[in-house]
Structure 1
Amino acid sequence: MTTLDKLITLADVRGSMDLRCHFAGRWSIDHQPDELGTARYHIVLSGRCQLRLPDHSLIELNAGDILLLPHGTDHLLQSDSGVDQPNRPVIVREGLLPTHRLQGEGEPLDLLCGRFLYQPGSSLFEALPEYIHVSLSSTQAAAALSAMIGLIRSEAEANHHGARSIVDALTTALFTMVLRSWLDTSPPIESSIGLLADRRLSKVWHALLEDPSDAWTVERMAEMANMSRASFMRAFTRIAGCPPGALLVRIRMEIACLLLAKTDSGLSDIALEVGYQTQASFSKVFKDVLGQTPGQYRRERKLGEVEARLAKDVG
């Protein structure tokens, strides 16, 4: 399992394809900020549009473009920069996905929209920039991405038995392909994800993820990277944005959150699994980092999952 595989697993990424847009003419659609743990995305099947961020910067989107907002940033989708008043599309049900329609003169836009849900506090998502823009016209993975998007589209249109399960599973895989394409074509960034681009530091990053419960020291990490202690600390902190010890604690707490949410393991067992010899020492670090006790976190997550299932059943 690669470092990226580990980070995605810890993030507990789940994809959802929510709707399809058929727009024409001049239009504008406002998107409010998403809840924590939600990353919205847009896939342009045909046509073109613009996406405006809160700082008023514009991103031009053309056919074959995929735009991901890892932090759920509010944004405005629009036909052109001269349209500010949001429209209210007509919503019709066609196949698996509801279709939002706006009529008008001009080039039509065909757009797929959805969300990636992830574990709040994910080190992977915290390391990502405000937006990720991947174009099929400039990525080596164009054929694979195009095939996957085509399969998602056909499943959504046909809406056969199991279509929702297939679409969501494919969309989850789409996240990994989009992220990999972006990493292959973008310059390294200063965050923990930037460690992947450094041969020596990425080796240490992978080892920390593979065995976070071990008694790691800076000297041992530096030796693994074949660097002096001082050089290792400077390089790691400069790229990751924090010292290796702080990143290790973050990973340990991320694993603990996943175990608390997904298993019934006792707190003492979880403490040992993430490198703490006592439940008390684990609970103290957990509360320092997350602002609540492990027990409180587990209860909130379980309650949230029940409420989500009830809301889905009602819907």
Structure 2
Amino acid sequence: MDILDKLIKFAQISGSINVQCKLQDSWYIRHERQTCHGIVHIVSQGEGYLHIDGMVNAIKLKANDVVFLPHSLGHTLTHQPNYKGPSKINIISNGAFTLKQCGGESPDFSLFCANFTYDKQSELFNNLPEVILLNLQDAALKPLLDILQREADDYQAGSANIINALLSVLLTLLIRTYLQQDNAQLNGLLNGLRDKRLYNVISNIIAKPEQGWKIETLCHIANLSKAQLIRLFNRQLGVSPYNFVNHIRLQKAAELLKHSQQSVLSIALNCGFQSESNFGKAFKKYYQLTPGQYRKK
């Protein structure tokens, strides 16, 4: 696995691209902010407006635009920039999708929506910006819309499995596409990865967080002095090297608690902790839950 693969695994993403909106005439759809929750809107037809909470001006959307809200920032979709609603939205089941419909059978504006959750300590999602705007002109993204449209227009056996599987592909491509942009606004770990002096250090820690990382080893990898490495970590990631290693170990442990049958002791040792007691204290401080409570929730 590469860095992005690992971070997506640690994020423990769950959700689906299971909502389709077909909207005509005057329409207004509101989404409230939720914790550890993200939303993606993929515009398949027409034009509309996106109102982001806290932003003065509405954003005009058109076919093939993608709105990626990693933290599900509160927002409204409308047919006109100043329309305040409300409008009657009919919600019905349509094969593998939940269909939100307003107006007649010939929509002016159509989109697919993905809703997903992730681990609250995810280094990946917590360090992405509030709003990411992309376009399906990217060669890798366009086929996803074609598949979604085909499954929505012609429901067949296995459609739900197909669209559920597409979520991971969609998020991976969106994040990869955004990270490749020169003007990407990144924080924490993602910002640190852009620093050539830190890239190999971060890559090695994420690949094997359980290894007994010593500051001298990390300094050797980065070809920096101890003072330089600590200063660079604090400036680019906002944490010390020691705390970063600990955070990645705990995120790996959280993923194993949810997705493996290993005992708490086994997970603790496999993630680089010296004892179950030491692991339990660190985990509770980080997640505000004991490992057992986290596994059950």
Q: TM-score, normalised by structure 2?
A: 0.92
Mapped pair 1:214 → 2:219: no
**3-state secondary structure, aligned to 2:202:** helix
Which residue does the alignment assign to 1:54? 53
Q: Which whole-Å CA distance do the structure 1 matches of 2:192 and 2:40 have between them?
A: 25
Which residue of structure 2 aligns with residue 70 of structure 1?
70
Map 1:100-111 onto structure 2 (within 5 A). 100-103=100-103, 108-111=108-111
Q: CA deviation at 1:18?
A: 2.1
From 223, 228, 233, the equivalent of 1:231 is 228
* Segment drifting more, 119-128 vs 95-104: 95-104
Q: Cα–Cα, structure 1 residues 186 and 87, in superposed 2: closer, same or farther, change >3 Å?
A: farther
Equivalent residues of 1:116, 1:172 under 8 A apart: no
Task: Say which structure is richer in helix.
Answer: 1
- What's the CA shift string for 1:90-141, capped at 9, x where partnerless? 234444323222228x98111111212322321111111112211134xxxx
Structure 2: segments with no counterpart, 5+ residues? none
- Name the structure 1 match of 2:80: 80
Q: TM-score, normalised on structure 1?
A: 0.87
Q: What whole-Å deviation, never above 9, does each CA across 1:245-265 have from its counterpart, x for those lacking one?
A: 222211111111111111221
- Residue 167 of structure 2 is aligned to residue 171 of structure 1: yes
Q: Secondary structure at the match of 2:139?
A: helix
Of 237, 241, 250, 1:253 maps to 250
Distance 1:75 1:117 in 2: 17
Is the counterpart of residue 14 in structure 1 residue 10 in structure 2? no
2:39 equivalent to 1:40: yes
Tell whether the 8 Å contact from 2:9 to 2:255 is kept in structure 1 after alignment. Answer: no
**Using the alignment, how far apart are the partners of 2:259 and 2:55 within structure 1?**
40
Q: Percent identity?
A: 32
Code of the aligned partner of 2:250: M
**Structure 2 SS opposite 1:122:** coil
Conservation of the 8 A alpha-carbon contact between 2:26 and 2:87: no
CA distance in 2, matches of 1:94, 1:241: 46
What corresponds to 1:241 in structure 2? 238
- Any conservation in 2 of the 1:156–1:167 contact (CA below 8 Å)? no
Distance 1:269 1:288 in 2: 20
Deviation, structure 1 residue 48: 1.8
Paired residue for 2:179? 183
How far did 1:65 drift?
Answer: 1.0
Q: CA–CA distance in 2 between the matches of 1:298 and 1:95?
A: 33
**Deviation at residue 24 of structure 1 after TM alignment:** 2.4
Q: Take 2:77 and 2:94, find their aligned partners in 1: how far apart are those partners?
A: 22
CA–CA distance in structure 2, aligned partners of residues 252 and 239 of structure 1: 20
Contact 1:49 1:109 in 2 (8 A): yes
Give the conservation status (yes or no) of the 8 Å contact 1:15–1:169: no
Query: Residue in 1 aligned with 2:158?
Result: 162
Quick one: which amino acid aligns to residue 157 of structure 2?
H
**CA positional deviation for 1:194:** 1.6
Kindly indicate whether residue 263 of structure 2 is the aligned counterpart of residue 263 of structure 1. Answer: no
Could you tell me how far apart the structure 2 residues matched to 1:15 and 1:293 are? 25
1:305 aligns with: none
Q: What is the SS of the residue equivalent to 1:143? A: coil
Q: CA deviation at 1:279?
A: 0.7
Tell which deviates more after alignment, 268-277 or 49-58. 49-58
Gaps of 5+ in 1: 301-315
AA of the residue aligned to 1:37: C
Give the AA of the match of 1:174: L
Q: CA deviation at 1:204?
A: 0.8
Shift, 1:39, TM fit: 0.9
Is this contact kept in 1: 2:22–2:107, CA < 8 A?
A: no
Secondary structure in 2 matching 1:197? coil
1:228–1:132: structure 2 CA closer, same or farther, 3 Å change rule? same
Between 1:242-251 and 1:162-171, the stretch displaced more is: 242-251
Number of equivalent positions: 294
Q: Does 1:281 align with 2:269?
A: no
The residue type paired with residue 39 of structure 1 is G
Q: What corresponds to 2:146 in structure 1?
A: 150
Once superposed, what is the RMSD of the aligned Cα atoms? 2.0
